[in-house]
Amino acid sequence: MTGTGSGTGVDDRLHHVVIIGSGFGGLFAARALKRAKVRITLIDRTNHHLFQPLLYQVATGILSEGQIAPAIRDVLRNYPALRTILGEVEHIDVEAREVHLDEFGKPLTIGYDSLIVAGGAQSTYFGHDEFQAVSCGMKSLDDALALRGNIFGSFELAEAETDPEKQRRLMTFVVVGGGPTGVEISGQLRELSRRALRHNYRMIDPVDTRVVLVEGLDQLVGSMGTYLSRMTQRDLTRMGVEIHLGATVTDMDEDGVEITKKDGSKERIPAATKVWAAGMRAAGLGPILAGAAGAETDKAGRVKVNPDCSLPTHPEVFVVGDLMALGDLPYVAETAMQSGAHAAHSILRRLDGKPTKPFRYHDLGTVAVISRFTAVAQIGPIKIGGFIGWLVWLVVHITFLTGFKNRFGALTRWAVSFVGRGRYERALTGRWVARTKRPAEPA
């Protein structure tokens, strides 16, 4: 089956831009093309735009999934020249300028004049792919919902457990990776256990929860510099987070984690819940595109591009966000936003007969929340911590949350969670309960 029509009532003779991925890169590319005389097809395997920096708040019960993952069809409902297709890209034929995908089990081919590939990234386990089966990642909505079930389920199981050793294991959480994501989830786990869950249980005291943060480097949030790293470590330690710097995870199973410290000693940490927030690599679309276009990739599987984000061998194809390898750009949401918009503007410049310009990244800073009213932020040469840092975090995230309803809802939930101690999103479904039941003993 071949799809050539736009399905939108838009002139099929217009320049056709296909965007793969509805994350920050794809969304900002589409926004930049809203008023252009082109037709657009957006392809993604999920039906939502994910505000990934707040996944940890879904996992810890602060926000609902809808507040950080609005339906992409609704977000782009006022784009009459844009068609959205839910499907899995299987192959890109750069010679024929076609994208081949699976749409609910049916093959579909979409032709393009220009292509923007914003496929994002996935977790990397540094040669230990077996860790994926016994840990929770922090890259997708499925990851966050699975982790939320593990977190709140662990407290329920601990309440029902009579063996103190098993209780301790259930109430131990190991977070691997000391970047912003690892710091934020560690801080929220302590906030959850010492504030939100107080007086909720009778057989356990959530304050006894053990949160362990493991980082392979010698400092946390290393990209933010020594000053903010020390501030982060100090604040997390005061909250009760157990920090292991210069340590690596050498083994992991259902029952716990083995870490090797920088002095060579090993420690076994019994833990029911393991959170993997260490490192990332390009999503599977990277190798697919590189193989089709004869492009080079870096060690993380990112596709090497020209200064304008286009492929050296096929200038009509642009790679943006976490999937592109260009200089030493930070792989954060802001890079995806800016490169997605740049790719769209480059297409429009070509249509106007103008040459494209090199992509110039404008660093708007990095922010990481440690606890309620406490965060660290780096904006250019300015380094901020404490409550002022938290205000910066608040402004940044409210600014980039998609849709007024999402912003209002997030502010309401933050007020309840940070000023008060409530966590609305704590429901465990019957499916989770069924999964925890032990099989009947044979007669």
State the catalytic residues: 184
Query: One-letter amino acid identity for 196?
Result: A
Amino acid letter, residue 237: T
Residues in a beta bridge with 248: 260
Spatial separation of the C-alpha atoms in residues 88 and 102, rounded to whole Å: 5
Strand locations in 125-186, DSSP E? Answer: 172-176
Per the CB < 8 A criterion, the answer to whether 14 and 39 are in contact is: yes
**In this structure, are residues 110 and 98 in contact, taking their beta carbons and an 8 Å threshold?**
yes
- In angstroms, the Cα distances linking 432 to 163, 201, 273 are 22, 19, 15
Q: Are 113 and 97 in contact (CB under 8 A)?
A: yes
Dihedral of CA atoms 436, 437, 442, 443 in degrees, nearest 10, equals 160
Structure tokens at 199: 């007086």
Residue 316, H or E segment: none
Instruction: Label the pairing between strands 317-319 and 114-117.
Output: parallel
The DSSP output letter for 112 is: -
- Three-state secondary structure readout of 276-310: ECCCEEECCHHHHHHHHHCCCECCCCCEECCCCCE
SS3 196: helix
Distance CA 50, CA 145 (A): 13
Q: How far apart are the first and last CA of the chain?
A: 55
The encoded tokens of residue 28 equal 């900002």
Q: 201 by DSSP, 3-state: which? A: coil
Identify the H or E element spanning 226.
helix 225-239
Query: How far is Cα 437 from Cα 50, in angstroms, rounded to an integer?
Result: 33
Exposed / middle / buried, residue 321 (Cβ in 10 Å: 0-12, 13-18, 19+): buried
